[in-house]
């Protein structure tokens, strides 16, 4: 059987024979079509404005501001432009004492501070920063936060006890804070009785128990107060911050090691309503950014604090000494009194203390048993550190 071709069919065949389409042209045309479809189908990926969070720190300069900015930079780089955190210096929107309330109300989206700054609202706040020394370090405190139930207790304090519209992360292990700067050398407990001394948090209660006259001042006011004779001695946090404040210009006796604030961390908080509206990816970046910044801080302070301690000694004539054991033993006894007072009247405070002690007892037993004598090794190679 013969099939006859129509005129239309002949025309098509003829046309194809004269205008062949090469494989290269076909693929090129297909790729262009696919690209156009992608742009039309998903314009929000290329053009969507980033989510912006305004975060105010309790710091306007110095290494604490560096630590805050380190966190912000990590978040922004991990987000790849889809989330942007703007860091605002202390006082840019509200004063330090108003920061937590401002985040709760949504005046600012977040903040970088320490829990001791809102200790007056609930003494338990200090347990998540400037709390008792159970023989643990700040890194072990963060271990309790991550794996010992500390984060859940922190959330309970913020959202159920204080009823604040806030979500937060603890970040950045601070080494034991120096006992601080004194106009005259101190050799024992009797030498510090009656001295006007600056500290914050529960440490204020502890040192009052030791017959010191305690004043709580913001960091920027410490050096001027000591210069004018309003206080006799003071601590802030570390050699780098102390040098930046100019403490070496108002006192020359610097005592390291103390149990008044033997471990502390930063607190990074966000307005919970704002946080809950973020994507799961952005929430994860804010959380894991805090962990990444925490690790980096633990390395950076090793470099900076040690260098600045040497600078204080060599360039400014500061006499660096270790706080006498008699004073540190008296601090532990004072802590016993304060802990007993607060656990007796505050069930939540008691619950946090019991949780911390259970963690510190178990983890501390391993650490102390396992750790070699680092002091002995140091002296073997370098001699006395002072």
Residue 154 lies in a domain: yes
Instruction: Give this prediction's pTM.
Output: 0.85
The pLDDT of residue 29 is above 90: no
Per-residue pLDDT at 366: 97
Q: 266-300 burial, b if ≥16 CB within 10 A, otherwise e?
A: bbbbbbbebbeebeeebbebbbebbebbbeebbeb
DSSP 106: T
Residue 134 lies in a domain: yes
Tell me the average pLDDT across 360-381.
96
Task: List pLDDT tens digits, range 284-307.
Answer: 999 999 999 999 999 999 999 999
Confidence of residue 7 (pLDDT cuts 50, 70, 90): very low
Residue 331 lies in a domain: no
Per-residue pLDDT at 270: 98
If one counts every other C-beta atom within 10 angstroms of the C-beta of residue 21, the result is 9
Helical H segments across 124-271, by residue range: 138-147, 150-156, 202-209, 222-227, 239-245
Give the domain range for residue 111: 48-173+264-301
Residue 283 lies in a domain: yes
Confidence of residue 2 (pLDDT cuts 50, 70, 90): very low
The total number of structural domains that make up the chain? 1
Tell me the average pLDDT across 2-28.
39
> Which token pair is 281?
């990816």
Confidence of residue 1 (pLDDT cuts 50, 70, 90): very low
Residue 224 in contact with residue 242, Cβ under 8 Å?
A: no
Between CA 239 and CA 254 the distance in angstroms is 9
Residue 367 lies in a domain: no
Non-local (6+) Cβ contacts of 151 within 8 A are 145, 170
**Of 116, 152, 145, whose CA–CA distance to 137 is shortest?**
145
Residue 119 in contact with residue 202, Cβ under 8 Å?
A: yes
If one counts every other C-beta atom within 10 angstroms of the C-beta of residue 148, the result is 20
What region does 383 belong to: left with phi over 0, alpha with psi -120 to 50, or beta? left
Judging by beta carbons within 10 Å of its beta carbon (0-12, 13-18, 19+), is residue 99 exposed, middle or buried? buried
The pLDDT of residue 30 is above 50: no
If one counts every other C-beta atom within 10 angstroms of the C-beta of residue 334, the result is 21
Helical H segments across the chain, by residue range: 7-18, 23-41, 43-47, 62-79, 99-105, 138-147, 150-156, 202-209, 222-227, 239-245, 272-277, 280-316, 325-345, 347-370, 374-382
CA angle 49, 52, 53 (to 5 degrees): 170
Residue 374 lies in a domain: no
Element (H, E) at 265: strand 264-271
The pLDDT of residue 314 is above 60: yes
Per-residue pLDDT at 47: 54
Between CA 165 and CA 373 the distance in angstroms is 46
Paired with 264 in beta bridges are 174
CATH number at residue 79: 3.40.190.170
Tell me the average pLDDT across 271-277.
98
The pLDDT of residue 20 is above 90: no
Per-residue pLDDT at 328: 97
Task: List pLDDT tens digits, range 175-206.
Answer: 999 999 999 999 999 999 999 999 988 999 99
Residue 373 lies in a domain: no
Residue 109 lies in a domain: yes
Q: How far apart are the first and last CA of the chain?
A: 111
Pairing of strands 253-256, 166-174: unpaired
Chain centroid to Cα 59, Å, comes to 12
Residue appearing with tokens 């984060």 = 151
Judging by beta carbons within 10 Å of its beta carbon (0-12, 13-18, 19+), is residue 13 exposed, middle or buried? exposed
């Amino acid at each position: 059987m013969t099939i006859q071709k129509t005129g239309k069919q002949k025309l098509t065949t003829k046309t194809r024979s004269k205008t062949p389409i090469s494989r290269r042209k076909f693929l090129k045309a297909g790729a262009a079509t696919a690209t156009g479809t992608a742009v039309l189908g998903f314009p929000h990926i290329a053009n969507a404005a980033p989510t912006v969070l305004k975060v105010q720190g309790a710091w306007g300069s110095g290494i604490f501001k560096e630590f805050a900015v380190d966190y912000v930079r990590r978040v922004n780089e991990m987000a790849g432009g889809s989330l942007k955190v703007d860091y605002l210096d202390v006082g840019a929107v509200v004063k330090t004492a108003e920061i937590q309330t401002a985040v709760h109300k949504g005046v600012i989206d977040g903040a970088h501070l320490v829990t001791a700054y809102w200790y007056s609202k609930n003494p338990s706040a200090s347990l998540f920063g400037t709390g008792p020394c159970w023989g643990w370090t700040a890194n072990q405190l963060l271990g309790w936060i991550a794996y010992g139930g500390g984060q859940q207790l922190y959330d309970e304090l913020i959202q159920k006890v204080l009823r604040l519209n806030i979500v937060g992360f603890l970040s950045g292990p601070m080494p034991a804070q120096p006992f601080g700067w004194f106009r005259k050398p101190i050799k024992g407990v009797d030498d510090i009785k009656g001295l006007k001394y600056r500290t914050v948090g529960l440490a204020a209660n502890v040192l009052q128990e030791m017959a010191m006259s305690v004043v709580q001042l913001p960091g920027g006011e410490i050096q001027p107060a000591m210069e004018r004779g309003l206080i006799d001695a003071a601590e802030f946090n570390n050699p780098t911050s102390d040098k930046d404040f100019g403490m070496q210009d108002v006192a020359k006796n610097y005592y390291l090691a103390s149990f008044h604030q033997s471990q502390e961390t930063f607190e990074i908080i966000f307005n919970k309503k704002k946080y809950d509206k973020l994507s799961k990816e952005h929430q994860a970046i804010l959380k894991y950014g805090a962990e990444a910044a925490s690790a980096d801080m633990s390395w950076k302070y090793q470099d900076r604090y040690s260098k600045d301690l040497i600078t204080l000694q060599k360039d400014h004539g500061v006499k660096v000494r270790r706080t006498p054991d008699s004073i540190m033993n008296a601090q532990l006894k004072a802590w016993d009194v304060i802990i007993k007072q607060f656990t007796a009247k505050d069930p939540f405070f008691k619950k946090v203390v019991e949780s911390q002690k259970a963690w510190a007892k178990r983890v501390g037993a391993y650490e102390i048993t396992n750790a070699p004598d680092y002091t002995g090794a140091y002296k073997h190679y370098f001699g006395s550190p002072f």
